[in-house]
Amino acid sequence: MAVLFGGRSGEHEVSLRSAASVAEALLPNHDVLCVRIGKDGGWRLLEGTRPSPHGGVPVFLAPSPDDGGRLRRLADAAELARPDVVFPVLHGTYGEDGTVQGLLELAGVPYVGAGVASSAASMDKEMMKALFARAGLAQVEYAVLRRRDATAEADLPARLGLPLFVKPVNLGSSVGIRKVKRAEDLGAAIEFAFRFDRKVIVERGVEAREIEVAVLGNDDPEASVPGEIVPDREFYDYDSKYDAASRTELRIPAPVPPELADELRRTAVAAFRAVDCAGCARVDFFLERTSGRVLVNEINTMPGFTSISMYPKLWAASGVPYPELLARLVDLAFERHAERARLQTDYRP
Q: Taking the domains of the chain in order of start, what are their residue ranges?
A: 2-111, 122-138+207-339, 142-204
Give the mean pLDDT per block of 10 residues along the chain (349 residues): 94 93 96 97 96 96 96 98 97 92 97 98 96 98 95 95 94 79 96 94 96 98 97 59 69 97 98 98 97 96 91 98 97 97 88
Q: What pLDDT, on a 0 to 100 scale, did the predictor assign at position 307?
A: 76
**122-138+207-339 maps to CATH 3.30.470.20:** yes
Q: What pLDDT, on a 0 to 100 scale, did the predictor assign at position 233?
A: 59
How far apart CA 23 and CA 111 sit, in angstroms, is 15
Instruction: Report the candidate in 161, 169, 326, 316 with the shortest Cα–Cα distance to residue 250.
Output: 316
**Which phi and psi angles does 162 have, rounded to 5°?**
-125, 145
Q: What pLDDT, on a 0 to 100 scale, did the predictor assign at position 175?
A: 74
Q: What pLDDT, on a 0 to 100 scale, did the predictor assign at position 11?
A: 85
Q: What is the pLDDT of residues 50-99, one digit of tens each?
A: 999 999 999 999 999 999 999 999 999 999 999 999 999 999 889 999 99
Residue 5 contacts residue 16 (beta carbons within 8 Å): yes
- The CATH class for the domain spanning 142-204 reads alpha beta
Q: What pLDDT, on a 0 to 100 scale, did the predictor assign at position 220?
A: 97
Q: What pLDDT, on a 0 to 100 scale, did the predictor assign at position 312?
A: 97
Q: What is the pLDDT of residues 255-275, one digit of tens each?
A: 999 999 999 999 999 999 999
Q: What pLDDT, on a 0 to 100 scale, did the predictor assign at position 171?
A: 73
Q: By three-state DSSP, how is residue 217 classified?
A: strand
Q: What pLDDT, on a 0 to 100 scale, did the predictor assign at position 67?
A: 97
Q: What pLDDT, on a 0 to 100 scale, did the predictor assign at position 306?
A: 86
Distances (CA, A) of 302 to 114, 216, 226, 283: 8, 11, 18, 11
The answer for residues whose C-beta is within 8 angstroms of residue 262's C-beta and 6 or more apart is none
Supply the CATH classification number for the domain 2-111.
3.40.50.20
Residues forming beta bridges with residue 229, ordered by sequence position = 210, 250
